[in-house]
A and B are shown apart, each in its own frame.
Chain A
Amino acid sequence: MDANSVVIRLERICKRFGGLQVLSDVDLEVHEGEIVGLIGPNGAGKSTLFNVMTSLYRPDRGGIYLLGKNITGLPPHKICRMGIARTFQLVRTFLKMSVLENALTAAVYGQQHGRKNALQTAMEALELVGLYEKKDMMTVHITLSDRRLLELAMSLASMPAITLLDEPMAGLNPSETQNLLRVIQRGRNERNTAVLWIEHKVNAVLDFCDRVAVLDYGLKIADGKPDEIANDPKVIEAYLGEPHA
């Protein structure tokens, strides 16, 4: 793959909270149109990595490059406008606003030059995730699975170069999960946006992603094609513990 298509590059990211080293020297690249899974046991530093990428935390060391530009330490709203959209592990939609207002907010403020066609962008994003019919409902009145779809629509409405999904499947039943997978794929196919995806349902990630990276105790221990990852002894050890001697 040529270097031009790199959407985001992380260079030796380190983050520590007090005495706890949460991320140590994490390198990661995501290319245009690629869906990359990010897996690892609880506390491996996956969400922290997202929070560092979106500038909610500042890394102690290391650099984040979006489309070749260094964005380390810029304020979160600028990072969103430059092209990183995200969803949250615990859904954070705006509950007392309508579904359309949510999408419109993302379209108006999340895009770099999006003010003119914001309404159209928001409508298209809602249509893509299948929430168009519910656009006038209050967000507090829609189901968890619809709220996750709405977050996805909001991230699409900001026309990102890359979307960070933080456990989009958590709390969804199998049919809702299938629907969400379809939407993620549609988003990628229609917009060619890159996706970096944290997920605990390892099977879904291995079936679905182009590439998978594994974090364990803040270290990236593997990065490769899903079938390589599934058979990697280090990954198996991280999930199942050390084999008996």
Chain B
Amino acid sequence: MKKDKQVILTALLILAFAVVPFIVDSEKSYLVYSLFLFFCYIIISQAWNLVAGYTGQISLGQHAFFGLGAYTTALIWLNNITKTGYYFDPVTILLSGLVPATIAAIVGIPLLSRLRGDYFALGTLGMGEIIKVIFVKGGSITGASDGLHLPSSVYSSIRPYYWTGLFLAVFATLLIYLIVRSRTGLALKAIREDETSAAAHGIHVLKYKVLAFSIGAFLAGLCGSLYGIYLFHINPDSVLKLDWTLYPILMCVIGGTGTITGPLLGSFFISTVFSVADIYFVQMHPVMAGILIILVMKFMPKGLIGLTQRKEL
């Protein structure tokens, strides 16, 4: 009964978001653009949430997968590889998720089997930098530091970005929800709690860590692809910057890691703070965000989601 209500409420909320571009003037309103960013943030924070919040592997390399997604889209488009139209082409977007997922599996096996905890975090940070250097030094293939320019003449409205972002955000959240409620989720959480004990209870630790890392990369890649199509100009400074790792961490931690709604709240909170601060305190919004993060951590160590839970005795 209670669950039915939740499903209906969620569906209504998604529907409400879906009709926003019909209500406000989507081409002039700042609201549609900031909600588009909000959806992007949801996708990458749910990706980090699976890897770090549920599996306990602090990845600092999410920006590499985000960038790989954007570059995959650009390279497929410019080299006319799949011959499928490219602009909001599902095949291109899907491939932009699968390429980072595959690379995550390949680099994940040595990283996740050899490195634990902080060392894994530093390892992924190093991997991100290596990938960035590869794209900067990629010559004419990757356009070096200037990057790649997509034909921006196809742009007509922000609406398709908005709806694709909404769709991917719902997809990412639903995917993580289904994974953590499944038996795979049991293995991931057990690994987070105690790797040695998880192995002693029959869990193939490396297999599940790589799986989570790879799914995280897949989602980051999808988001990178969408954002790349929005930018039309893909270069290392825009899609491979560390922000794409730091923002999701921030949003998960503020909202509450290891929960489904936490990253949603965190993404909403951060994107609102960024948007508002950008209007009223131009160039100062990182300072505002920093102060708010310190306050949230000081008074709500479990994140915003902690407010809805009963106080523990």
Residues of A within 8 A of B (CB): 54, 56, 75-77, 80-81, 85-86, 88, 92-97, 101, 104-106, 108-111, 115, 118, 154, 158
Q: Give Cα distance in the complex from A200 to B163, angstroms.
A: 65
Candidates A88, A97, A108; contact of B183 at CB < 8 Å: A108
Candidates A81, A88, A94, A111; contact of B190 at CB < 8 Å: A94
Candidates A56, A95, A158; contact of B201 at CB < 8 Å: A158
Known contacts being A101-B186, A108-B183, is A77 close to B199, with CB within 8 Å? yes
Interchain CB contact under 8 A, B203 and A105: yes
Besides A92-B194, A93-B197, 4 more A-B contacts (Cβ < 8 Å) are A86-B200, A96-B193, A97-B190, A106-B202
- The 22 listed contacts between A and B (C-beta, < 8 Å) are A56-B200, A76-B199, A77-B199, A77-B201, A77-B203, A77-B204, A80-B201, A80-B202, A86-B200, A88-B197, A92-B194, A94-B197, A97-B190, A97-B193, A104-B186, A105-B198, A108-B183, A109-B186, A109-B201, A109-B202, A109-B203, A110-B201
When C-beta atoms are compared, the residue in chain A nearest to B187 turns out to be A109
The answer, yes or no, to whether B233 is at the interface (CB within 8 Å) is: no
Residues of B within 8 A of A (CB): 183, 186-187, 189-190, 192-194, 196-205, 258
When C-beta atoms are compared, the residue in chain A nearest to B203 turns out to be A109
- Which 5 pairs from chain A and chain B are nearest by CB? A94-B193, A92-B197, A109-B202, A110-B202, A80-B202
Which residues of B have CB within 8 Å of A86? 200
Q: Give Cα distance in the complex from A97 to B189, angstroms.
A: 8
Q: Give Cα distance in the complex from A109 to B190, angstroms.
A: 11
Known contacts being A92-B197, A93-B197, is A158 close to B189, with CB within 8 Å? no
Q: Give Cα distance in the complex from A86 to B203, angstroms.
A: 14
When C-beta atoms are compared, the residue in chain B nearest to A139 turns out to be B193
Known contacts being A94-B194, A96-B193, is A105 close to B199, with CB within 8 Å? no
Which residues of A have CB within 8 Å of B183? 108, 115, 118
Q: Does more than half of chain B's interface fall in helix, strand or loop, or is it mixed?
A: helix
Q: Give Cα distance in the complex from A111 to B186, angstroms.
A: 15
Q: What is the minimal beta-carbon distance from A119 to any residue of chain B, in angstroms? A: 10
Which residues of A have CB within 8 Å of B202? 77, 80-81, 106, 109-111, 158
Which residues of B have CB within 8 Å of A94? 189-190, 193-194, 197-198
Candidates B201, B204, B205, B258; contact of A106 at CB < 8 Å: B201
Interchain CB contact under 8 A, B196 and A92: yes
Q: Give Cα distance in the complex from A88 to B199, angstroms.
A: 13
Q: What is the minimal beta-carbon distance from B311 to any residue of chain A, in angstroms? A: 13
Q: Give Cα distance in the complex from A76 to B205, angstroms.
A: 10
Q: What is the minimal beta-carbon distance from B28 to any residue of chain A, in angstroms? A: 47
Q: Give Cα distance in the complex from A136 to B49, angstroms.
A: 24
Q: Give Cα distance in the complex from A96 to B201, angstroms.
A: 16
Interchain CB contact under 8 A, A105 and B205: no
Candidates B187, B189, B197, B199; contact of A75 at CB < 8 Å: B199
Known contacts being A77-B199, A80-B200, A110-B201, is A105 close to B194, with CB within 8 Å? no
When C-beta atoms are compared, the residue in chain B nearest to A110 turns out to be B202
Q: Give Cα distance in the complex from A158 to B199, angstroms.
A: 13
Which residues of B have CB within 8 Å of A77? 199-205
Which residues of B have CB within 8 Å of A104? 186
